[in-house]
Structure 1
């Protein structure tokens, strides 16, 4: 009741799950959170994949406490931003230069602006169903027109009052449809500044790219003077160097966020030196202004550095092995029950779909009303058994998790299929 008196609809983020009401959290430790009523949950959300080390990770907490005693923010730069940038440049192959911002939305927004400034062209292409934050051009088409992706026409406005001019400069593409994608890019090449792509679109269903699809996209863009922006705000957690290298994508710009802030607000635009020079060059010329009161604030910088220094190649390998085991065992459980469920994902990410076959296109991943009911029932079952499973989004593992947590997840899914045999046939409809 208190929240409803001060927030529209009682929440201050559209992403808060209300089924039937939000769960208010008191604290978190490791892989678990505790709500204000004292109930403990295994957290498979981790603030939308941000907390790769889980909650209250000691190196991050210690770094933040040390820094807050020395100052939370300044108008001047600090050495901490250089240290985190150096680490990211060393790891992300496309990152020759970096600019820090406060959110993933800002990172995508400025990456698009940089591409326009560098190429002198206004339009972008993006994939239907993918999520890239709240910048008008980036969010156009994120809910898509199922069955009509990339039909050659501009996207439709995403909300009432959104200018048609925004839609006119966004070309919708269908992820994994190589032929149509190529046709649309070639026919619009003269006005395309960039192709915005999540290497594994999470909101669109955690779609795995077909072999060669992203490499083909990179070649096509290079041939036509179009920049590729890889949105790895979420998917950077797929490996030591991120997601693009494992799928053959060669981006000109990479947007990062979430795990690089250690649980504090952050975003980053990373990219080729010549493209990034639009933000400023050695001769002092600036073609694109970018600032922010809290950009590169020392608390986010020290938290991010501590988190990333604690993520070595072996840590990513261990998380991926846990993820592989979990996805395999969940699929085994579904087969054991003859249930029409599938599991997809990569590295530390996974998603359970109430359908028989793993989706490869956004249109395949969009739930029917009945599948949505099944998914809500699954999320409720997990919550009742002490696990927070995101609804309609990627679930994730964190470094504090081990085989005990994997066993628990599998067991709860097994229990769900035992208790709800009626969903098994319905999921196939």
Structure 2
């Protein structure tokens, strides 16, 4: 099946149905899609179904899926325990204005596993989780401003996204990060209340937080920023962040919407960060829409107490809907310590294998990531911050070629983002990833010689 799919791709006729659907989509969607994150090269791959670690598109091509809906599907596609639980639930209703027992079950699981989650509120997406975490920090401290990491992705809330798409000017990078709005028409006041920090810059962190301490409600940080490069946090950076934030009464928000998959207790616990609030999502929904804000009981009281009007009202028509609650609980129950250990070992094999190929070929690439996540960079030295990971035009072209090659080999490798593994993957899938990368380096070297002639 894989060989047939690869041959059809190389023949150029393998995606005719996807192309047809994209042409139809352009008549009803502004750019032919409903998500800016959908990859078009030159048109999207339309999916027919998922089968464990693999996707099958509308043209019958089968691909190893290293995207898993942007790291959401930690068990891959069609995970049977979740499917069975949801089918059983659907017979009794999908959503209600009243609470159900199901939300208590998922909340109890999360608070038992994640040290910083003493209390939880459910929302519908990672964007909402980050948004309400920021609002909670404001309500708790009475301050309006936030600090966040340059280049990191935190969803679509104005203050959370300001500074995620910064780029160097014609004279290079400014020594200090400068807030850039995410879209035209962003109110100027947003930039006034967002302070950018550079990842792993201890001196800049201390200086930035102290300079704006009287206005900062929180520091928003992804413990391993995916979009910004998927780099390890330096222990000194985490320690300084905790100490400085505590000194000035600034809350620390850990955005673990993506990186909660790094361990049984999440990413903060893995790197020694003790946040006041955590934003979660993706894997905790079992493939259904979800977000969660968790944190210290004292801080979470802004959402309400038994005898007082909430400082921060929060609701949502589909928040804590039973389908997401049941799917999330079943998916997370299957993520035992042993399941995490197996995923971590598989991720280590992928990263070590990629690095061994790079070393053997002396190729200008590096690899970052941890646990079940990895990212390939067209850089000789692995990046330590967003600026190191930023791609030039030439590097962008190289990564596009690599993504296309993986596709032709039967692997969906996300472009410019984290690739992830799922529990249903096996050693042969790891071999396929490594073989695809090795073959790409060989093919691109030959193509480079031809381009130079």
On the 8 A contact 2:229/2:383 being kept in 1, the answer is: yes
Q: Show CA shifts across 1:123-167 (max 9, x none).
A: 0000000000000000000012446578276x2332211110011
**Counterpart-to-counterpart distance in 2, 1:50 and 1:152:** 31
1:290-332 deviation digits (Å, cap 9, x = unpaired): 0000000000000000000000011111100110111001111
Q: Residue in 2 aligned with 1:32?
A: 54
User: Which residue of the other structure, out of 32, 46, 53, is the alignment partner of 2:68?
Assistant: 46
TM-score by length of 2: 0.92
What does residue 246 of structure 1 align with? 270
Tell me how far 1:282 sits from its aligned partner: 2.5
Residue 142 of structure 2, aligned match among 114, 120, 139: 120
| 1: CA distance, partners of 2:148 / 2:132 | 16
Distance 1:267 1:284 in 2: 25
List per-residue Cα deviations over 1:13-32 (Å, max 9, x = no partner).
Answer: 00000001100000001100
1:151 maps to what in 2? 176
Q: Decide which of 171, 195, 215 is 1:171's aligned counterpart.
A: 195
Distance 2:175 2:149 in 1: 8
**Distance of 1:186 and 1:282 partners within structure 2:** 36
Aligned residues: 425
Q: Does 1:332 align with 2:332?
A: no
Q: Is the 8 A contact 2:177 2:198 kept in 1?
A: no
Partner of 1:82: 104
Contact 1:237 1:348 in 2 (8 A): yes
**1:3-402 matched pairs, under 5 angstroms:** 3-146=25-168, 148=173, 151=176, 155-402=179-426
1:64 aligns to what SS in structure 2?
helix
Structure 1: which 4+ aligned runs deviate by more than 4 Å? 147-150, 422-425
- CA separation of 1:413 and 1:377: change in aligned 2, threshold 3 A: same
| Gapped regions of structure 1 (runs ≥ 5) | none
Note if contact 1:150-1:171 (Cα within 8 Å) is conserved in structure 2: no
Is 1:150–1:173's contact at 8 Å kept on the other side of the alignment? no
* Cα distance in 1, alignment partners of residues 446 and 139 from structure 2: 56
The SS at the match of 1:289 is coil
Q: Report the aligned-residue RMSD.
A: 1.4
Rounded to whole Å, the distance in 1 between the matches of 2:182 and 2:258 is 22
Taking the aligned partners of 2:89 and 2:324, their CA distance within structure 1 comes to 10
Once the two structures are superposed, residues 203-255 of structure 1 have per-residue CA deviations (whole angstroms, 9 ceiling, x without a partner) of 00111111221122011101110000000000000000000011111100000
Contact 1:127 1:173 in 2 (8 A): yes
Distance 1:373 1:19 in 2: 12
Rounded to whole Å, the distance in 1 between the matches of 2:28 and 2:440 is 37
Q: Say if 1:253 and 1:272, in contact at 8 Å, map to a contact too.
A: yes
From the superposition, tell whether residues 180 and 384 of structure 1 become closer, same or farther in structure 2 (CA, over 3 Å).
Answer: same
Q: Give the 3 Å change call, closer, same or farther, for CA 215–24 of structure 1 in structure 2.
A: same
Q: Which runs of 5+ in 2 are unaligned?
A: 1-22
Q: Secondary structure at the match of 1:189?
A: coil
- Measure the CA separation in 2 of the matches of 1:423 and 1:279: 58
Counterpart residue number, 2:14: none
CA contact (8 A) 2:202 2:236 kept: no
Establish whether residue 403 from structure 1 lines up as the match of residue 423 from structure 2: no
Mapped to 1, the partners of 2:227 and 2:388 lie a distance apart of 13
Q: What TM-score does the superposition give when structure 1 sets the normalisation length?
A: 0.97
Q: Is the aligned partner of 1:418 residue 2:442?
A: yes
